[in-house]
Structure 1
């Protein structure tokens, strides 16, 4: 894909030699491009030696990063087939090579073959193959440094207003934040059965204690009922009980798996890439150990250190690079100037 890079872009300028004034304008355009760091080339730079011009045209069209088609009435007429085959033979062959590049390169051909309007030219003079009305074109208002600024920025991939970097994503609202629902553990039979029996015995003992004849057995029943209730209360599930911890760990594990799945789907949706880059989560439910024991693994500190030591990863969506070749650079009348700044101050 053509875009901003560190190497000098190589540009070939294709034009119809209609008259001397038009040729002077094309030559001035080429000089402006070279003065501003673009390796632009025209046929007049190679007229001092004998050339096979068909081979020369093929090399220029195929090896240049960009081909500038200078719009003019003659260029539009020959591209439409309205001129005799006896005139403009050279530019006719050149246009055939340009058409082949546009067709073969697809989207890159649309980007790399640019129609250019010099001062006083109209959109109707652009060849129809280059989509004068439905695709971008470059208009040079004046043959000055400021007049070719838009063309320079398109050739070097340096927009006037570059897109700012993306900021932080908006956090979820409080009502949509992930919450872990921990199931309430039920009392086992060894806890609730003594507690219920103790309550019944306690109530019965109170009733018997109010009767003088059976006061002593009633007080004994009250004590037994209290003892049963204490035993049942102590047998209830506690926060550090293994069954409670297992329930909480399983609920947390399910929430992590769900959250990881949603996050992965969102990331893949943002990048448009069906395959992530090393995004894996392999959960396993391990036995819990308190940190104050002599165990060396499996504690909460171990889990915490594992997540703290993870290296942050990023999803990558590598793009494809554009196929191109560097043609030989020959000295021209004007040396290459400085590179265009990234954006206007």
Structure 2
């Protein structure tokens, strides 16, 4: 079917009574004139002598959708209980529809649309269309609202489109990222502060920075953070501050969890260290920064330690340390 072309619809029915025949004609005309569907009905093709079996075969094949009008006579003829000479046209068309359903049940189930017009019953739908287990279309009035369900099946645009699904609140909890500097500091040495740090040309806004109070400051600097067993990973970038007084210094970073050393990294200007550690279950995090060869921290686990070597204390930073 070309884009924007009206769907082609074939109406198959039986001439039960003059009143029923007139009702079907009015329904088909409504769909064609008021709704704009390309509807085809046998009554509109009686202007010349024709082979009706070929006509029916062609229309059943070309139709995008086939509307089956429920009625007692159509049901008998479609279900094979009518006499051979009775309603041959309906019997012939129903046989083709049954064959198509057998060949491709899924496609033809969507293509063949049983319709129950005013005064008719769902029990008059042919048995092979499974009226009670598949969709049928009740048309109580010839108005756009009256054929809304039928049009939804033809256009593929339902009256109630499924809304876009939002984020499921009952799923896995989104991983929470917390700046380590915002955790409770149990203790810290002078010169260790929260703030921005530039390390190897990258600015980290939420960092832990060691800047000794004076060039002659000695002894360890440290910070101890209370994890409380609430986090799984600790990540940071450790390095010499870009604006350090001594740009050639070498620093050492040690991470201690609950009193047990977990990692140690040497850093220098232009050579920062990326730290990524599993801290699952840990309650106390100690971060120690020093120059190689400096004495160990007298405070044990849980602190950021910086000591002096070569006459100057180190100037180091932990870029955006994060707990997850």
TM-score, normalised to structure 2, is: 0.54
Residues 242-293 of structure 1 show CA distances to partners (whole Å, capped at 9, x for unaligned) of: 9x95663xx59x9xxxxxxxxxxxxxxxxxxxxxxxxxxxxxxxxxxxxxxx
Task: Please identify which structure carries the higher helix content.
Answer: 1
State the SS of the aligned residue for 1:240. strand
The question of whether the paired residues in 2 share the 8 Å contact of 1:116 and 1:139 is answered with: yes
Which of 21, 26, 29 in structure 1 is aligned with 2:27? 29
Structure 1 residues 131-178: Cα deviation after superposition (integer angstroms, max 9, x where no partner): 111111000112344322322232222322222334456696355669
Q: Which has the higher contact order (CA 8 A, sep 6+)?
A: 1
Structure 1: 5+ residue stretches without partners: 186-233, 255-345
Q: Give the number of the structure whose residues are more often strand, by fraction.
A: 2
Listed as ranges, the gaps of 5+ residues in structure 2 are: 178-230, 239-249, 254-264, 279-324
Q: Quick one: structure 1 residues 173 and 149, their matched pair in 2 at CA, closer, same or farther if it must change by over 3 Å?
A: closer
What CA distance in whole angstroms lies between the structure 1 residues aligned with 2:4 and 2:162?
19
What residue in structure 1 maps to residue 196 of structure 2?
none
* Distance in 1, Cα, partners of 2:232 & 2:272: 17
**Count of aligned pairs:** 201
Residue 122 of structure 2 is matched in structure 1 by 123
Counterpart of 1:222? none
Structure 2 equivalent of residue 63 of structure 1 = 62
Distance in 1, matches of 2:85 and 2:115, equals: 26
State how 1:32-43 maps to structure 2 within 5 Å: 32-34=30-32, 35-43=34-42
**Alignment partner for residue 240 of structure 1, among 267, 273, 291?**
267
Matches within 5 A, 1:95-110: 95-110=94-109
User: CA, structure 1 residues 107+241, in 2 after alignment: closer, same or farther (shift >3 Å)?
Assistant: farther
- Does the aligned pair in 2 maintain the 1:182–1:247 contact within 8 Å? yes
Matched, 1:6 2:33: no
Q: Aligned in 2, Cα 1:69/1:144: closer, same or farther, shift over 3 Å?
A: same
The offset of 1:127, in angstroms, is 0.6
Contact 2:79 2:128 (C-alpha < 8 Å) held by counterparts: no
**CA separation of 1:121 and 1:246: change in aligned 2, threshold 3 A:** same
Matched, 1:159 2:158: yes
